[in-house]
């Protein structure tokens, strides 16, 4: 933590941490506390009076099938995004790890989606799957598939999952490649001498050895799907049709800024914060374990 | 490669090429759409090869009449926001990390935990109360409002802390004997030794800042403050008729170009920074 | 002119005291080596003189002025670290010039001083290089150069040679010693290597558990160790310690006895100390033992001889071409004037 040798100074360290601490208090701690406080309040429709209602907002959420559905939907969404994106990334990484020539070019092209803003990614996929114009819609039509995510909620969900997974492939790819590079070459060589072919080697040596990275990425991808996909959904479906793509983060925004249910939205925020805390702790437990190696 | 199997290598390359093509395909289509006129983009099937309307579309965007803000101004806003966020985050984090690693002072651990918990509160989660704070400080529709609430970053602080812990203690002692004050040591030794990390972090944070969407959407009402990324949504919603896809795609193309260029050209340092910092 | 006076120096971390009151008077130009096993407090002591550790009690004076509360840069010292602590992002020149720049010396003087020292150390060809492009020995010399350009009153060395390979270490220790003699700068040098300590020091300070076990010239300490620790630590191979009982007529060792030399006037259960090089070849045996192991060193040969009911094998240094085999019976005779006796409970030397 602290260096064995360190400076003593009366005021300098406080001066150094001050900017960060002030911004943290103003824009992180204070709003979080506000959210917590507001989650205990009930405001009437005109914002004229507020009442302290303890856990009523939370109880209401618990009794609200809409919210519970959104919860389940978010779970499905994030698992689908994580597995799709990680699956493809792992596949590409395994191949790219095998080839020497051109692997740099592949990497350069594969990291591009990382730099694309979620809302732009959403717009892009929206265009490809546009029910009347989209190129992919056109292809699907020739196969007899009628695509309209504005009406079909299963198709809407598939599209946001696809867009979200596409954007995250870069990140997963880079981590899988790094993990594979860190496997000692001698291990691979030893198993090759033992007569294991490339596929067998991947299954019995490489995959088990990168499992810490896989687990780490699973957590990161879930966090990503939970919180960083707002722009994608906002651009493609705006939560629709019905509420079929309204994940938790989107619902906080919708209920708070559009529906103006401040207490309910705040209660949702608090629940989300709790989820982030749990996920972050899991992630850090993992980091700690990794550091000890 | 362990064994030389030309066939497997050939298959690997083929599959990779197909895969990479699929990944890049949406971006290609975006580029193609940006080079056609509105009429062509209403005829199914849409083109797969570029047209000749890129310049005309570009001119329309530069005028910006239809969407409130000319593209070069929104790109400028994005640039300011992304730079303020990335430079701001790096500056406050590097200072805080220096204090936490190199000084023994009261409440050190308290401050450390205070920074740590911000790691757990993404802006999407506390968006409403943060909006109220920014409104309270009259920072709506300003560069400050766009950037400052996003610049406290536990991740960057942690990364710098990690880096500083790997700098040998003796360097600090040697500098004390050489007569360097703590801030001299910081400027002359710590910062130069953290160059790679700073560069890597800059790439990550520049992209993070540039790609902000919900936050600018909420706090800007003045079209002059729109950023390139968020103006897309305005364009998607504008008008009753079918959106002007050639303009939307060109805007998207322009809006994604700076972060893509940054990530491609600083690839080496970015990859190193990304995979190191998260471990 | 710079002497150092260390008086009743103590160091505690929280509740544990690690240095228990040390007094050393160091004369101008003297080369003092602090030697002791790891954890004895030798580095802490050096760092307190440097100003890198606070002083809990007692005083350090340089040139008669108490420096307890001075910053390291104001003490007129320069230090060479074990890992050299060169700034990795600066060239050799900048590494050496950094302290001078902070002293706000004129550019020309900095240039001149660095060049001069670089010449002295034969590193003038590397001035543009980064430390990472230098070999271990070259880095070591740059670290010395950085210390010398400051023109300090005192040099402090913290195990500067322990990262070098054996051959280079021997070469560098002679260079450091020569350089120090030519510059005439008072020097404090920390090492755990007793050979290094013996060969370099004008005077040695043997430390144990935060106490100065003995202070003296190498030969004083070799010939006249004050206690069993110092006797065992200084000298290579280490001194033999044999439990014995001195009676009126004999010294009883295990089941054997030798007649008591008349000048040994102590009685009772004692520890007999004898250096491996102080056995003599005589046909009249004093003790008898069996050769357990043989180490051939070329110039000499070490015999590990076990005697009945003596817990440890006795190490004897003999002439290199001695023809012996494992399992042989060996007669052991000592030079009766080179025996040491220690009190087994206090470990102090009694004779």
The CATH number assigned to the domain holding C288 equals 2.40.50.140
C76 to chain B: closest CA residue: B177
Note whether C200 and C330 are same-domain residues. no
- Whether residue C32 is predicted with pLDDT greater than 60 in this model: the reply is yes
The answer to whether residues C102 and B180 touch, using CB atoms and an 8 Å cutoff, is yes
C155 to chain B: closest CA residue: B177
Q: What is the CB-side half-sphere exposure of residue A92 using CA atoms within 13 A?
A: 32
In chain A, which ranges are continuous DSSP H helix? 12-24, 30-38, 56-63, 65-98, 103-110, 112-115, 118-128, 135-142, 153-181, 185-193, 198-201, 207-209, 211-227, 230-236, 248-253, 262-292
Cα-Cα-Cα-Cα dihedral sign, residues C45, C49, C54, C59? positive
pTM for this prediction: 0.85
- Whether residue B197 is predicted with pLDDT greater than 60 in this model: the reply is yes
DSSP H or E stretch at residue C288: strand C287-296
Distance CA C240, CA C306 (A): 12
- B46 near A CB under 8 A: yes
Note whether C94 and C210 are same-domain residues. yes
State the average pLDDT over residues C57-86: 91
The pLDDT, as a whole number, for residue C307 is 85
Tell me which chain C residues have a C-beta less than 8 angstroms from the C-beta of B178.
73, 98-99, 102, 146, 150
Reported as a pLDDT band with limits 50, 70 and 90, residue C309 is confident
Note whether C134 and C33 are same-domain residues. yes
DSSP state of B267: H
DSSP state of A254: I
Neighboring chains of B (3 or more beta-carbon pairs < 8 A) = A, C
Burial of C170 (0-12, 13-18, 19+ CB in 10 A): middle
Distance CA C7, CA A44 (A): 78
Note whether C228 and C245 are same-domain residues. no
The pLDDT, as a whole number, for residue A291 is 37
Q: Which of C196, C214, C233 is the last residue of a domain?
A: C233
Distance CA A277, CA C260 (A): 80
Interface test with C, best of B173, B175, B178 (most C CBs within 10 A): B178
pLDDT winner (highest mean) among A6-10, A73-77, B220-224, C281-285: A73-77
> How far does B252 lie from chain A, in Å, by closest CA?
6
- Whether residue C333 is predicted with pLDDT greater than 50 in this model: the reply is yes
pLDDT winner (highest mean) among B87-91, B107-111, C248-252: B87-91
φ and ψ at residue C252, rounded to 5 degrees: -95, 120
Is C350 contained in some domain? no
- B126 near A CB under 8 A: yes
Nearest to B104 among A2, A95, A125 (CB): A2
Output the domain CATH number for residue C151.
Answer: 3.40.50.300
The pLDDT, as a whole number, for residue B190 is 93
Q: Which of A121, A237, A206 is nearest to A170 (CA)?
A: A121
- Whether residue C315 is predicted with pLDDT greater than 70 in this model: the reply is yes
> How far does C33 lie from chain B, in Å, by closest CA?
21
- How much is the mean pLDDT over chain B? 84
The pLDDT, as a whole number, for residue A151 is 85
Reported as a pLDDT band with limits 50, 70 and 90, residue C283 is low
Note whether C117 and C224 are same-domain residues. yes
State the average pLDDT over residues C120-141: 91
Two structure tokens written together for B153:
């970053």
**Domain A67-290 belongs in CATH node 3.50.50.60:** no
Distance CA C204, CA C35 (A): 7
- Whether residue B6 is predicted with pLDDT greater than 60 in this model: the reply is yes
Q: Which of C192, C207, C233 is the last residue of a domain?
A: C233
A-B contacts at Cβ under 8 angstroms: 293
Tell me which chain B residues have a C-beta less than 8 angstroms from the C-beta of C84.
170
DSSP state of A203: I
Pick B128 or A155 by higher pLDDT. A155
- Label the pairing between strands C186-191 and C31-35: parallel
Reported as a pLDDT band with limits 50, 70 and 90, residue C253 is confident
Q: What ipTM describes this predicted complex?
A: 0.86
Is C328 contained in some domain? yes
Tell me which chain B residues have a C-beta less than 8 angstroms from the C-beta of A192.
2-3
Is C349 contained in some domain? no
Distance CA B132, CA B146 (A): 14
- Whether residue C127 is predicted with pLDDT greater than 90 in this model: the reply is yes
Structural domain that includes position C77:
4-233
Please tell me the total number of residues recorded for chain B in this structure: 279
CB atoms B126 and A35 under 8 Å: yes
CATH of domain B66-275: 1.10.3720.10
Interface test with B, best of A27, A138, A219, A238 (most B CBs within 10 A): A27
Burial of B47 (0-12, 13-18, 19+ CB in 10 A): middle
- C104 near B CB under 8 A: no
> How far does B147 lie from chain A, in Å, by closest CA?
11
Q: Which of C180, C202, C233 is the last residue of a domain?
A: C233
Segments of A4-132 assigned E as strands: 41-43, 50-52
- Which pLDDT tens digits describe chain A residue by residue (293 residues)? 567 677 877 789 999 999 999 988 888 888 888 888 878 877 665 666 677 777 777 887 788 888 888 889 999 999 999 999 999 999 998 888 877 777 788 888 888 999 999 999 999 999 899 888 888 888 888 888 888 888 888 889 999 999 999 999 999 998 898 888 888 888 888 887 887 777 888 888 888 888 888 888 888 899 889 888 888 998 888 887 888 888 888 888 888 777 777 777 888 888 888 888 888 777 777 655 543 33
Provide the greatest CA pair distance for chain B.
76
Two structure tokens written together for C288:
């008898």
The pLDDT, as a whole number, for residue C156 is 94
The answer to whether residues B111 and B137 touch, using CB atoms and an 8 Å cutoff, is no
Tell me which chain A residues have a C-beta less than 8 angstroms from the C-beta of B138.
none
CB atoms B177 and C98 under 8 Å: no
- B14 near A CB under 8 A: no
- C351 near B CB under 8 A: no
CB atoms A20 and B245 under 8 Å: no
Distance CA B247, CA B65 (A): 12
> Number of structural domains, chain C?
2
Note whether C220 and C294 are same-domain residues. no
Is C32 contained in some domain? yes
Note whether C138 and C88 are same-domain residues. yes
CB atoms A17 and B99 under 8 Å: yes
For a pLDDT cut of 90, what percent of chain C falls above it? Answer: 51
- C308 near B CB under 8 A: no
- Whether residue B30 is predicted with pLDDT greater than 70 in this model: the reply is yes
């Amino acid at each position: 933590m602290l260096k064995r040798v360190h400076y003593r100074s009366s005021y300098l360290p406080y001066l150094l941490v001050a900017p960060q601490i002030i911004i943290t208090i103003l824009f992180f701690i204070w709003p979080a506390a506000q959210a917590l406080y507001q989650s205990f309040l009930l405001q009437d429709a005109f914002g004229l009076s507020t009442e302290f209602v303890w856990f009523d907002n939370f109880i209401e959420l618990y009794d609200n099938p809409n919210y519970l559905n959104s919860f389940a939907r978010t779970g499905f969404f994030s698992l689908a995004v994580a597995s799709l994106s990680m699956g493809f990334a792992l596949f590409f990484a395994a191949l790219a790890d095998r080839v020497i020539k051109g692997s740099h070019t592949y990497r350069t092209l594969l990291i591009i989606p990382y730099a694309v803003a979620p809302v732009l990614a959403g717009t892009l996929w929206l265009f490809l799957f546009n029910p009347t114009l989209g190129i992919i819609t056109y292809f699907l039509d020739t196969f007899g598939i009628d695509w309209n995510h504005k009406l079909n909620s299963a198709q809407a969900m598939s599209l946001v999952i696809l867009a979200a997974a596409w954007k995250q492939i870069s990140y997963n790819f880079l981590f899988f490649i790094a993990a594979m590079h860190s496997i000692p070459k001698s291990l691979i060589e030893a198993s090759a001498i033992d007569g294991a072919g490339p596929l067998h080697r991947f299954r019995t040596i490489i995959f088990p050895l990168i499992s810490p990275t896989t687990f780490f990425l699973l957590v990161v991808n879930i966090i990503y799907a939970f919180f960083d996909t707002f722009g994608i959904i906002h651009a493609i479906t705006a939560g629709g049709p019905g509420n079929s793509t309204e994940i938790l983060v989107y619902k906080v925004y919708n209920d708070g800024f559009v529906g103006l249910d401040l207490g309910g939205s705040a209660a949702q925020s608090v629940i989300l914060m709790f989820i982030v805390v749990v996920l972050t702790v899991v992630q850090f437990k993992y980091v700690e374990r990794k550091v000890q190696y | 490669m362990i064994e030389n199997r030309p066939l497997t290598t050939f298959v690997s390359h083929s599959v990779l090429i197909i895969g990479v093509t699929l990944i890049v395909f949406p971006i290609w289509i975006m580029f193609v759409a940006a080079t056609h006129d509105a009429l062509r983009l209403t005829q199914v099937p849409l083109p797969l090869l570029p047209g000749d309307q890129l310049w005309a579309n570009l001119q329309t965007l530069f005028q910006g009449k239809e969407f409130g803000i000319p593209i070069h101004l929104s790109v400028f806003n994005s640039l300011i926001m992304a730079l303020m966020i990335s430079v701001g985050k790096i500056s406050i984090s590097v200072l805080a990390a220096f204090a936490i690693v190199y000084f023994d002072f009261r409440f050190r651990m308290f401050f450390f935990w205070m920074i740590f918990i911000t790691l757990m509160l993404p802006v999407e989660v506390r968006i409403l109360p943060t909006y109220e704070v920014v409104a309270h400080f009259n920072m709506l529709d300003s560069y400050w409002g766009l950037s400052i609430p996003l610049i406290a970053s536990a991740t960057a602080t942690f990364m710098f802390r990690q880096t500083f812990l790997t700098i040998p203690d003796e360097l600090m002692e040697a500098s004390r004997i050489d007569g360097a004050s703590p801030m001299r040591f910081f400027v002359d030794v710590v910062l130069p030794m953290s160059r790679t990390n700073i560069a890597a972090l800059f790439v990550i944070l520049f992209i993070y800042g540039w790609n902000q969407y919900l936050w600018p959407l909420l706090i800007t009402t003045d079209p002059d403050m729109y950023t390139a990324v968020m103006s897309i949504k305005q364009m998607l919603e504008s008008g009753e008729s079918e959106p002007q896809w050639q303009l939307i795609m060109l805007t998207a193309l322009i809006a994604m170009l700076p972060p893509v260029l940054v990530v491609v050209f600083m690839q080496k340092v970015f990859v190193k920074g990304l995979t190191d910092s998260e471990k | 002119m710079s002497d150092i006076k260390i008086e009743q120096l103590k160091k505690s971390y929280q509740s544990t005291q690690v240095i228990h009151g040390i007094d050393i008077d160091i004369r101008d130009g003297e080369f003092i080596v602090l030697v002791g096993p790891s954890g004895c407090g030798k580095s802490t002591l050096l760092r307190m003189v440097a100003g890198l550790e606070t002083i809990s009690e007692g005083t350090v004076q340089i040139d008669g002025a108490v420096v307890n509360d001075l910053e390291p840069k104001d003490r007129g010292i320069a230090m060479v670290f074990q890992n050299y602590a060169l700034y990795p992002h600066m060239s050799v020149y900048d590494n050496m010039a950094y302290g001078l720049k902070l002293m706000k010396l004129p550019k020309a003087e900095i240039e001149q001083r660095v060049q001069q020292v670089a010449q002295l150390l034969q590193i003038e060809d590397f001035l543009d290089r980064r430390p990472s492009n230098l070999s271990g020995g070259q880095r070591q010399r740059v670290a010395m150069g950085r210390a010398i350009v400051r023109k300090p009153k005192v040099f402090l060395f913290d195990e500067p040679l322990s990262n070098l390979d054996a051959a280079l270490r021997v070469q560098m220790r002679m260079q450091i010693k020569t350089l120090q003699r030519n510059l005439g700068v008072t020097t404090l040098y920390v090492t755990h290597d007793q050979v290094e300590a013996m060969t370099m020091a004008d005077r040695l300070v043997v430390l144990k558990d935060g106490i100065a076990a003995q202070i003296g010239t190498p030969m004083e300490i070799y010939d006249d160790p004050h206690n069993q620790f110092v006797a065992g630590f200084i000298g290579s191979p280490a001194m033999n310690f044999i439990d014995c009982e001195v009676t009126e007529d004999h010294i009883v060792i295990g089941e054997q006895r030798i007649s008591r030399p008349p000048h040994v006037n102590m009685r009772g259960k004692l520890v007999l100390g004898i250096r491996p090089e102080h056995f003599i070849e005589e046909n009249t045996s004093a003790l008898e033992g069996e050769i357990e192991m043989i180490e051939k060193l070329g110039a000499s040969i070490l015999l590990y001889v076990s005697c009945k009911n003596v817990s440890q094998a006795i190490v004897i240094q003999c002439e290199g071409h001695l023809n012996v085999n494992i399992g042989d019976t060996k007669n052991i005779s000592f030079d009766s004037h080179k025996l040491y006796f220690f009190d087994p409970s206090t470990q102090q030397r009694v004779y």
